[in-house]
Structure 1
Amino acid sequence: MAVFDKKIPTKVFLDDTQVLSVTIENAQTVNGHTRYSDFVALHSIVQSSGISIILPPKKLIGNMDKTFISQRQNELQAYLKTILMNPILALSLPIKKFLDPHNYAESLEELALQHVSMALRSEMNYELVKPIQDLGWRIRKHYFIIKSKLIPKVESLLKWVEFGPDKYLDNKDLQNVIQSMLNLNHPHVEKIEFAHCSEKGCLIVQRFYQCGTLKDLIYGSKPKLNFLKKYGAPKHTKPLHFNEVSLFGKQILETLLFFHEKGMPFGHLHLGNILLIDNSIKLLDIENMVLGLPSLYRHFIAQHKKINTLEAVDVYSFGHVLFEMAFGYPLNESVCDTLPPSCPSLLGSLLESILSTESCKTGLPSLQELHQHPFFNLSSKNHTVKINFRLSSTLKQSLKIAVKNTEKRLQSDQRAIRNQKKITKMKELLSSDENLNTLKKEKMKRDKNSGSRELKVDDIHRNGRSPRSNSLTSDSTAASVGAITPPLPASKISSPTPPVSSSSSTINERSALLDSICAFDKSILRHHQSAQVLN
């Protein structure tokens, strides 16, 4: 590298929507203690959300026994697996810190406060009141209550967020897009009062509504509470009427179509980004796409290769929003093939076209096709309002490139997930084949051993060395010492021995022969032998 070459600093942007996985491989004692106390601290945070998950109890005596350690390891593995299956817990900062302390070690709240203080130092119209801890689900997005010095009785919400992994606009183009958003006046988009971008992230100021978002209205939660406490395990929810779902869904669709026509997809639709003011919805966080932030449902979207464009992402997210508005609880899976019995047929057909396994496999409908669905004919037509939102041709081209790059990263992640699934499947097949081959080898070995034993017994019987014949032969041999062994008659010598049919018949024949030899009278043998010689 040349001396005067510039070193371009690069930052690795973490995608906080990626759900971490964990495997407990072994157990060891570190500095005289184990990590069970860390599990206890984590469990206290999980309990604050109201989600019921059982932590294996502590054991004081016998906790270093190998059998107990193995059992405890399996129980804690199941405990972590249950936590990661819950989307709210899996995306929370305490879980990220517990599983990945290296990447989530720094104090994000202090850094955010520093950036906000520096940004407001030159802005004399706003006064920082207090921070709101963990208002939303994003780890790197921080909220503050501020007041305008011109209108001190009205509270505003300041949002500071770091740039995400999909930020592909340079700072100049980003400033121009944010400036266009400041000038946007749309009936279904909450107006941005103030915005400031730095090298690290962006600051957005909007009006704060005490009623909260549409998610707060459905869940009956207080908007300033912790995200886990609000949505972890709500006791009572109030789903919307199906006519309201039709009305608000149509307003959302028309707003999404507006942004896509301008070449700036929304990409971040969920109930926490929707306000309900005077029976009309207003979208929040329209700047998230250009800031490079990943979608809430990205870990679901990455599992389906057909959801590979930002329009498909908006359609899929819209399906989740309809589901949660209609039934009062989120869909915690990537697909839905069984709807509640109370679901009307029109809404059911609409949800099936977006969230069913078959639709996610073959492809989702477009936003325009959804807008023409009969379900949205239940609501009255909205009055058309002329909206001023101008983007230069150069800025549109930059946005087009940014959208393509965002889609490329999504498609790359989808390929990686498919490859990982193939590798896992191949390992399972190989493992099953290895087990099958091992069983076959063991069976062949058993068959071979049993066959060799049978051959050995047959050989022993054929050679006349059975235990019974050996004992009888030794006795007869000892009894006939000093005597001449009488020869067999000529007729018996000339006749061929018949083949042995089985081992049992051979043993019986040999035993009968030995018995006859032992009971033979020698005097008769001599007389019979001389007669044979004379003949």
Structure 2
Amino acid sequence: MAMFDRRREHKQTFDESRTINVTIRESSNVGGHIEYRIEIWRSPEPEVRYSLTYRYSQFAHLNFALRSPHVTLPVLPPKKFFGNTDKSFVNDRKVALQNYMDELTKHPILRHHQALKNFCDPINYCANQLENGMMSVAAVLRSGGRLELGNTMHSIGWRYHKQYFHVCQVTPASTTDSTASVASGGAGSTATGDSVSTTGSASAVRGSSSSTTSNTSSPELTSAALAHTLHVAPPKASLLLWWCPYGVDSTMHLRDVHGTLTALVQCQHPYLATTLSSVATETGVCVTMPFYPQGSLRDLLYGARPDQSYIVKYNSNKSTSQSLACGISIRSAAVYGRQMLTALNFLHHKSVGHGHVHLGNVVVVEGVCRLGGAENLVLGLPHPLRFLFTYVKSLNSIQAIDVYCFGHMLYEMAMRRQLSTPTCEVFPADCPPLCRSVLESILSPEAGKNGMPTIDGLLTHPFFNEIPLHSHGRVSLHMSASVKQAVLTAHQTMLSRLLSDQKKVRLQKRIQKAEALIAQQSYRFTGRNKEANKKTGSKSAGATPPSSTITSPGTSSKGDL
């Protein structure tokens, strides 16, 4: 068991949710071709930069890769065959390419496109990510799981390193053949040597001692332990399996990851989504859950299929026309909001929290809303809205983050579009008064400065407390004291990095204000010198004050958003 005391070294070293900033610094003529040197950094760390060199043809290839149905792209400057090396033309094209990249990186949906990530960060977003995911999943299946791997669901989520697969439960007689075919077809013939820890239901764990012994004696699992049989599902039932490596905020030992996933699998609550199994290895986590043909609540809101790509499903042009026809009524938003608040209240009373509240982690089954995705916090993955967290000072606890994300989720249900700013000063006039009251208490600039309401306080709001709860099933979540302490430590790690980023953002804002003030004073001083020279008839321009501007790498007049 000593392997479970090790900390994992295989995890992402960058925050995928941070905004990418692209600046075209210069252009040069190399062998008769114009090359543009672009400088890239992620907010809020302008001091960490790297440079890439691209030709116009590579920008054109990027634009071609971004084309999708119902997706409106920014205007790429046209191609020119003659005179494309003239200095004036190159300067104009440089400005046009800069505007093109600014629109892409600031777009709430297109900025998550895999082609754009490969273009801006080819090192962290490698092309063989799918192959790596297949190898990891094959190693998990060889640990004793009775699953048959089906089709790969490409790009259905915004995370580049998270892979989704269709799987189905098979009989024990065909388990060996199915796992062997997966290993030979998609992941090679040898195991990765990861420590594997499979979490199933309590009944499955009690009845799997014999299978555990046989699995741990397999030569493919030289470092395997605590390998349990997966949840029993109907034969050939359609399931969803996803694999993801550990994120930048991951600090748990493998033993604590296994304990937390065990508690989440065995958790029972009418408003929490079911997880069939969770497998923790040294390189990532593999989770199996039921496949919902209707998709997530966001899919229902936008009238999208769950197997479509993230860009096609949630592009604003498509959602505007379809959400009006199949959107969510205010009454339904209140019902779903009450159910999600009840689930969050239960998790926080158990000292677990959630940390990844958004419509993509919510499913509706027979009119009942169920919240999932709690495993993401165990992996140390950032929330998709984390780049907005850095602009909201009051987000200093896991409950405040869950409440803030709940406000964004309620805004999206009520307004049929996502809120792309940290706060909202003016809400649409057609927003009902009670719903507006809830949104103002969470998303207003005052709430961002003074503090978020509590979950208990929201449950007493008239918008929610008049909604009856018809599901009163058994609730349970059992965690040992050591696992609870590990979860709290993970929360503190995530909050510490968030607090550091918030300080960096505030520092950048102060520097920008100082630069603007100095520039304004310098302009006034130059104007007074010119007037004095005109009066005295002097031909000299006059003395200028010494330069004392405050510089910040990557600071622009447009700000960070």
Tell whether the structures are fold-level matches, with TM greater than 0.5: yes
- Give 1:392 deviation, angstroms: 1.1
CA distance in 2, matches of 1:187, 1:32: 66
Counterpart of 1:20 in structure 2 is 20
CA distance in 1, matches of 2:539, 2:471: 90
The aligned runs of 1:89-488 (5 Å cut-off) are: 89-150=110-171, 151-232=234-315, 233-234=317-318, 235-237=321-323, 238-450=326-538
CA distance in 1, matches of 2:29, 2:271: 57
Amino acid at match of 2:66: V
CA distance in 1, matches of 2:254, 2:269: 25
1:78 to 88, 92, 99: 99
Counterpart of 2:67 in 1: which secondary structure? helix
CA distance in 2, matches of 1:178, 1:314: 20
Q: Relative to structure 1, is the Cα distance of residues 365 and 31 closer, same or farther in structure 2, using a 3 angstrom cutoff? A: farther
Q: Relative to structure 1, is the Cα distance of residues 397 and 209 closer, same or farther in structure 2, using a 3 angstrom cutoff? A: same
Counterpart of 1:36 in structure 2 is 56
Q: Relative to structure 1, is the Cα distance of residues 195 and 434 closer, same or farther in structure 2, using a 3 angstrom cutoff? A: same
CA distance in 2, matches of 1:162, 1:387: 30
Amino acid at match of 2:433: S
- Give 1:308 deviation, angstroms: 2.0
CA deviation profile, 1:2-29 (whole Å, cap 9, x unmatched): xxxx999686621100011011111124
- Give 1:48 deviation, angstroms: 1.1
CA deviation profile, 1:192-230 (whole Å, cap 9, x unmatched): 112111111100000101111111111111110111111
Q: Identify, as 1 or 2, the structure richer in strand.
A: 2
Amino acid at match of 1:21: N
249-258 or 40-49, which moves further after superposition? 40-49
* Cα pair 1:119 1:196 within 8 Å, conserved: yes
Q: Identify, as 1 or 2, the structure richer in helix.
A: 1
CA deviation profile, 1:153-176 (whole Å, cap 9, x unmatched): 311101001111111211111111
Amino acid at match of 1:171: L
* Cα pair 1:263 1:396 within 8 Å, conserved: yes
- Give 1:281 deviation, angstroms: 0.8
Amino acid at match of 1:13: T
Counterpart of 2:25 in 1: which secondary structure? coil
1:48 to 65, 68, 80: 68
* Cα pair 1:239 1:324 within 8 Å, conserved: no
Q: Relative to structure 1, is the Cα distance of residues 263 and 48 closer, same or farther in structure 2, using a 3 angstrom cutoff? A: same
- Give 1:322 deviation, angstroms: 0.7
306-315 or 85-94, which moves further after superposition? 85-94
TM-score, normalised with respect to structure 2:
0.76
CA distance in 2, matches of 1:316, 1:268: 11
Counterpart of 2:59 in 1: which secondary structure? helix
Q: Relative to structure 1, is the Cα distance of residues 12 and 223 closer, same or farther in structure 2, using a 3 angstrom cutoff? A: closer
- Give 1:254 deviation, angstroms: 0.6
* Cα pair 1:267 1:310 within 8 Å, conserved: yes
- Give 1:266 deviation, angstroms: 0.5
Counterpart of 1:68 in structure 2 is 89
CA deviation profile, 1:381-427 (whole Å, cap 9, x unmatched): 34543312111112212221221121111111111111122222222
Amino acid at match of 2:343: T
CA distance in 2, matches of 1:9, 1:55: 41
Counterpart of 2:399 in 1: which secondary structure? helix
Where in structure 1 are there 5+ consecutive unaligned residues?
1-5, 453-535
CA distance in 1, matches of 2:470, 2:379: 31
* Cα pair 1:243 1:379 within 8 Å, conserved: no
Amino acid at match of 2:93: R
* Cα pair 1:167 1:290 within 8 Å, conserved: yes
CA distance in 1, matches of 2:111, 2:520: 32
Q: Relative to structure 1, is the Cα distance of residues 87 and 31 closer, same or farther in structure 2, using a 3 angstrom cutoff? A: farther
178-187 or 89-98, which moves further after superposition? 89-98
Q: Which has the higher contact order (CA 8 A, sep 6+)?
A: 2
Q: Relative to structure 1, is the Cα distance of residues 180 and 443 closer, same or farther in structure 2, using a 3 angstrom cutoff? A: same
CA distance in 2, matches of 1:441, 1:265: 62
- Give 1:110 deviation, angstroms: 1.3
CA distance in 2, matches of 1:223, 1:54: 29
CA distance in 1, matches of 2:99, 2:130: 31
- Give 1:123 deviation, angstroms: 2.4
- Give 1:30 deviation, angstroms: 4.4
2:80 to 53, 59, 82: 59
- Give 1:104 deviation, angstroms: 2.1
- Give 1:32 deviation, angstroms: 4.6
CA distance in 2, matches of 1:118, 1:110: 12
Counterpart of 2:218 in structure 1 is none
CA distance in 1, matches of 2:78, 2:539: 54
TM-score, normalised with respect to structure 1:
0.80
Q: Relative to structure 1, is the Cα distance of residues 270 and 421 closer, same or farther in structure 2, using a 3 angstrom cutoff? A: same
Amino acid at match of 2:272: V
CA deviation profile, 1:220-267 (whole Å, cap 9, x unmatched): 111101111111131411321111111110000010111111111101
